[in-house]
A = this chain, B = another copy of it.
């Protein structure tokens, strides 16, 4: 029988010698990177739409089946650029269950966020609620595709069209995912992808704007560099420094070559989690919905404290002690980060306080997943004694 003595939180040696990270953290070998970097040094061309950047954009366009893939220094800048290039005004509706960069991009673009709640079954934007929030001050909907799943992109497109507002997407988590065989990058007027290292395709930092709209693409290419650039003339009212370096492009090019292998690795680990977690009551694994193909880049689990026996925060403390980098999803819904927010978003609040992210990706082995699931099973079994001992030591208490 498991006792508290078996957990690192109470003095046992940790299950892992070094931290098992959340993921994705895929990087090519140092040897491959050095070969690419030697080319950059030989050409003496380091930034601003260089040859590797051009190649990356071409390869992305082909891979995604999209007309324009415009690579940018990071996703926040990309979202700012799109909001400006689409000439948005007033308010923009977006889900609060998301990372804060999307809200911040609106703020820098002089726009006001209107937060909507999410569907607890899918974690994605609640379209009925979006429809109720549209008024004459709303110029756009910023859809979000979370955790390798997607929202109902077609219903959202219909709603936007019928309401006369624009639609674009923050698809940070959705690189490579497809809806009925069409890759993410092709929906709304534009979609923004993140190439942060926590995503399946990374450029260390980086982002990409995808669009099939020639006029918008021309504007974005001019906006990307302070001094303007782009072969198609376009008039913009602002530029920014959104240039992606050759070093960033080199990493992303190799990651794109290895996308299939990385996706497959994620899928195997995800299936392992699914099989193991199904045996533990009180843990509900998020399963990507709405996609014909997923990148399986995130493992997100909702905890029912009543069934599992431990609170989310206490479980995180327990896992961290074992060197498992478990985390809340987005700290709190971003509506909580906005001073004096009047938004009431019960589903977002509930998911924000009951979900954890677990490790998956390039630095996580199948054996590690089994070990993590074993800790979870034992934590469930010993939950009563863990709670008693933790309360005594004030562990996992906010």
* Among listed A34-42, A55-63, A342-350, interface-contacting one: A34-42
A residues 284-317 in Cβ contact with B at 8 Å: none
Does the CB pair A240–B104 fall under 8 Å? yes
Copies of the polypeptide in the assembly = 2
Tell whether A76 pairs with B240 under 8 Å between CB atoms, given A46-B204, A101-B226, A247-B247: yes
A80 / chain B contacts, CB cutoff of 8 Å? 108
A132 to chain B, nearest CB (A): 28
| A351 touches B (CB below 8 Å) | no
In the docked arrangement, what's the CA distance between A339 and B235, Å? 11
| A47 touches B (CB below 8 Å) | yes
| A197 touches B (CB below 8 Å) | yes
Does the CB pair A227–B108 fall under 8 Å? no
| A182 touches B (CB below 8 Å) | no
A99 touches which of B109, B227, B248, B363 (Cβ 8 Å): B227
In the docked arrangement, what's the CA distance between A107 and B109, Å? 9
| A205 touches B (CB below 8 Å) | yes
Of listed A99, A196, A245, residue having the most chain B CB within 10 A:
A245
Q: Mark A61-98, 1 if CB is under 8 A from B, else 0.
A: 00000000000011111001000000000000000000
In the docked arrangement, what's the CA distance between A77 and B80, Å? 12
User: Residue of B at shortest CB range from A28?
Assistant: B41
User: Residue of B at shortest CB range from A34?
Assistant: B34
A residues 83-129 in Cβ contact with B at 8 Å: 99-101, 104, 107-110
Does the CB pair A47–B100 fall under 8 Å? no
A144 to chain B, nearest CB (A): 14
A25 / chain B contacts, CB cutoff of 8 Å? 44
Does the CB pair A204–B100 fall under 8 Å? no
In the docked arrangement, what's the CA distance between A138 and B326, Å? 48
| A49 touches B (CB below 8 Å) | no
Tell whether A205 pairs with B73 under 8 Å between CB atoms, given A27-B41, A33-B37: yes
User: Residue of B at shortest CB range from A339?
Assistant: B237
User: Residue of B at shortest CB range from A110?
Assistant: B110
Q: Mark A204-224, 1 if CB is under 8 A from B, else 0.
A: 110000000000000000000
Does the CB pair B108–A240 fall under 8 Å? yes
In the docked arrangement, what's the CA distance between A30 and B205, Å? 22
Does the CB pair A33–B44 fall under 8 Å? no
| A335 touches B (CB below 8 Å) | no
| A241 touches B (CB below 8 Å) | yes
A241 / chain B contacts, CB cutoff of 8 Å? 74-77, 101, 205
In the docked arrangement, what's the CA distance between A101 and B30, Å? 35
In the docked arrangement, what's the CA distance between A246 and B205, Å? 10
A-B pairs with the 6 shortest C-beta distances?
A76-B241, A30-B41, A101-B226, A74-B241, A46-B204, A204-B245
- Contacts A76-B241, A99-B227, A204-B246 known; list 10 others, CB within 8 Å: A44-B363, A47-B205, A99-B226, A100-B226, A104-B226, A104-B239, A104-B240, A204-B247, A205-B241, A205-B245
* 22 A–B contacts, CB within 8 A, in A order: A25-B44, A27-B41, A30-B38, A30-B41, A34-B37, A37-B37, A46-B197, A47-B204, A73-B74, A75-B241, A76-B226, A76-B240, A76-B241, A77-B77, A80-B108, A99-B226, A104-B240, A108-B109, A108-B238, A204-B246, A204-B247, A245-B248
Give chain A's interface residues, CB within 8 Å of chain B: 25, 27, 30, 33-34, 37-38, 41, 44, 46-47, 73-77, 80, 99-101, 104, 107-110, 196-197, 204-205, 226-227, 237-241, 243, 245-248, 331, 339, 363
